[in-house]
Structure 1
Amino acid sequence: MPHMPHNDTTEAAAPAEANAAQAEAWNGDAGQHWVQYRDRREAQLSRFSPHLFAAAQIAADAQVLDVGCGCGGTTLQAARQAANGQALGVDLSAPMLAEARRRALAEEVANVAFQQADAQVHPFAPDSFDVMLSRFGVMFFADPQAAFSNLERAVRSGGSLHFLCWQSAEVNDFFTVPLRAISAHLDVPQRDTPGEPGPFSLADPDDVRGLLTAAGFDSVEINAVDERMWIGADLEDAVAYQMTTPSNQAALAEAGPEARGRVMDALREALSPYATAEGMKLEAHAWLVTARKR
């Protein structure tokens, strides 16, 4: 894989037509929100990252592809482990990639590059990567079969794939508890429709196994990762954050100013049982998926 400097500004190819909605969201309010709350998002996912990297076992000379890299936290960690290799992070979101490049410069990580690309269709050089990884970044493909087939071509024979994806919404309190409280007062868009791009699109392990096998991977292993997710320093902090998300902001604007107090009260009631000495924590359940290219 040719060296790409970490301030790479390669222009993105157009996303697949079916991914246009995702591209619009991640280059708009959703992407800006993740940048604004980058440190908070990293804290929320901090207990999951060690599972991913323990499975990936990135060698010092590895070429690594991080799919849906967002603000670059996992890409930078991969680059540090591949000290004599390189890590490439790809994402649809220009705002998040700008933040990733800023972090790479600030942290003086030289063997990392970031590129705006739709991994479902991007023409990666064949057989370029030893490791493909993703921390909750592969659930947003309009055509996951096409996406994993495209990614399989980019991984060398004998290379490995490792990603985290969420189990079903029903078992993830971090999602359902605040959503139930908010939905009692606001019309909030659903993000857990089976088969649709979204955080829970890969919740069925049998579907995931079928996708990867059909794409050309084998030795597929899918294991549960169960953690308690930190969602706020205390109750008021957790409630205040819930009020900032783009979907909740849009629903609040439509409902009118009188709804805000009712929603905050409902969130306080719903989240108060989850206070701990280390902050607010709710159950979170993911799948850790690993596979090899034949």
Structure 2
Amino acid sequence: MKSSETASPHERPKTGAVDYDSELQLHDKAFRRACGVHARERVLDIGCGSGQTTRDAARAASAGSAVGIDISAPAIARARELAAAQDVRNVRFEQGDAQAHPLPRQGFDVAISRFGTMFFADLLAAFRNIRGALADNGRLVMMVWQAREANEWSTAIHGHCAQSSAAFSLADPSTVERILDAAGFADATFQDVREPVYYGDSVEAALDWIGQFQATREALRSLDAASAERERARIREIVERHRRDGGVWFDSRAWIVRAHCRRTP
């Protein structure tokens, strides 16, 4: 996806339908800087979605390459379309689950992920597979959500509704350090990122975006008609309170986690 250089939520973002890339537009600058992709590096992008971060990496790796992997076939199809439309040639996309996908051994110099590593069924197995795909001097850079209570987009919108804990599975630094150490990584560091997420340029756009969330759909389906209508009214009121100059914004907290590969014996 094409990264926004927007530096403030009061600067006008791109208009139109909201998507995941525009939602995270203020996170991208910090993430790209943290990745620090070099010209000749081979990059693996985990959970690449429609490929914005992969294309950004490919552009930085002008004499190298980037591979994006995602479990969603529609997302991979869209990523390929956008790469072709933007004439990014040193990039390719594969559909698969990085936990078990047959990645080439030591085929990459850096693995990156923007909110794509929290949802593995077996986190340790996934990071071991990723480590095996990295050169011995390779590195990992990923962005993950901090705890649910630090993320207004979850607490305000979903309230007391059940929220999948998977989105916050890598929120605790000690847990992340333990998993990465067992997977063959070392020297993990955690950079605090506090940027709001963008939900659209109007209340209606935000409500449409929120309505696409699995947690929202499941919560509404669990209610009777009258209760569902009250829940929709509650969400609308919250969205209206978060409408400010430039769009609808909710606070969020994330970690940028960096780690290096521990050399194999």
Q: Give the TM-score taking structure 2 as reference length.
A: 0.87
- Corresponding residue for residue 88 of structure 2: 109
What is the CA–CA distance in structure 2 between the aligned matches of 1:246 and 1:218, rounded to whole Å?
Answer: 35
- Corresponding residue for residue 194 of structure 2: 226
- Larger proportion of helix: 1
What is the CA–CA distance in structure 2 between the aligned matches of 1:93 and 1:152, rounded to whole Å?
Answer: 22
Residue 151 (structure 1) shift: 0.8
Q: What secondary structure does 1:249 align onto?
A: helix
Q: Deviations over 1:74-125 (max 9, x none)?
A: 1111111111111000111111111111111111111111111221122212
| Structure 2 CA distance for partners of 1:242 and 1:145, relative to 1, 3 Å | same
Deviates more, 1:155-164 or 1:262-271: 262-271
Say which of 200, 204, 210 aligns to 2:178: 210
For the 8 Å contact 1:38–1:71, the answer to whether it is kept is: no
User: What amino acid maps onto 1:191 in structure 2?
Assistant: S
For the 8 Å contact 1:66–1:88, the answer to whether it is kept is: yes
For the 8 Å contact 2:158–2:216, the answer to whether it is kept is: no
For the 8 Å contact 1:131–1:155, the answer to whether it is kept is: yes
For the 8 Å contact 2:192–2:255, the answer to whether it is kept is: yes
What is the CA–CA distance in structure 2 between the aligned matches of 1:269 and 1:164, rounded to whole Å?
Answer: 30
Matches within 5 A, 1:59-208: 59-180=38-159, 189-192=162-165, 198-208=166-176
Residue 269 (structure 1) shift: 2.0
For the 8 Å contact 1:66–1:74, the answer to whether it is kept is: yes
Query: Is it true that 1:54 corresponds to 2:22 in the alignment?
Result: no
Deviates more, 1:255-264 or 1:149-158: 255-264
What is the CA–CA distance in structure 2 between the aligned matches of 1:251 and 1:212, rounded to whole Å?
Answer: 34
What is the CA–CA distance in structure 1 between the aligned matches of 2:98 and 2:214, rounded to whole Å?
Answer: 24
- Corresponding residue for residue 254 of structure 2: 286
Could you list the runs of 5+ residues in structure 2 that have no partner in the other structure? 1-15
- Corresponding residue for residue 21 of structure 1: none
User: What amino acid maps onto 2:209 in structure 1?
Assistant: Y
What is the CA–CA distance in structure 2 between the aligned matches of 1:85 and 1:110, rounded to whole Å?
Answer: 11
Percent of aligned positions with the same letter in both sequences?
Answer: 37
What is the CA–CA distance in structure 2 between the aligned matches of 1:45 and 1:171, rounded to whole Å?
Answer: 16
Q: Deviations over 1:163-190 (max 9, x none)?
A: 000001111001110101xx5xxxx552
Matches within 5 A, 1:20-59: 40-59=19-38
Count residues with an aligned counterpart: 247
For the 8 Å contact 1:235–1:275, the answer to whether it is kept is: yes
For the 8 Å contact 2:139–2:260, the answer to whether it is kept is: yes
- Corresponding residue for residue 237 of structure 2: 269
For the aligned residues, what is the CA RMSD? 1.9
What is the CA–CA distance in structure 1 between the aligned matches of 2:222 and 2:149, rounded to whole Å?
Answer: 27
Q: What secondary structure does 1:65 align onto?
A: strand
User: What amino acid maps onto 1:200 in structure 2?
Assistant: F
Deviates more, 1:131-140 or 1:121-130: 121-130
What is the CA–CA distance in structure 1 between the aligned matches of 2:108 and 2:17, rounded to whole Å?
Answer: 27
Q: Deviations over 1:36-70 (max 9, x none)?
A: x9852111111112212111211111100000111
Q: What secondary structure does 1:255 align onto?
A: coil
Deviates more, 1:101-110 or 1:247-256: 247-256
What is the CA–CA distance in structure 1 between the aligned matches of 2:242 and 2:213, rounded to whole Å?
Answer: 20
What is the CA–CA distance in structure 1 between the aligned matches of 2:67 and 2:51, rounded to whole Å?
Answer: 10
For the 8 Å contact 1:62–1:131, the answer to whether it is kept is: yes
What is the CA–CA distance in structure 1 between the aligned matches of 2:229 and 2:41, rounded to whole Å?
Answer: 52
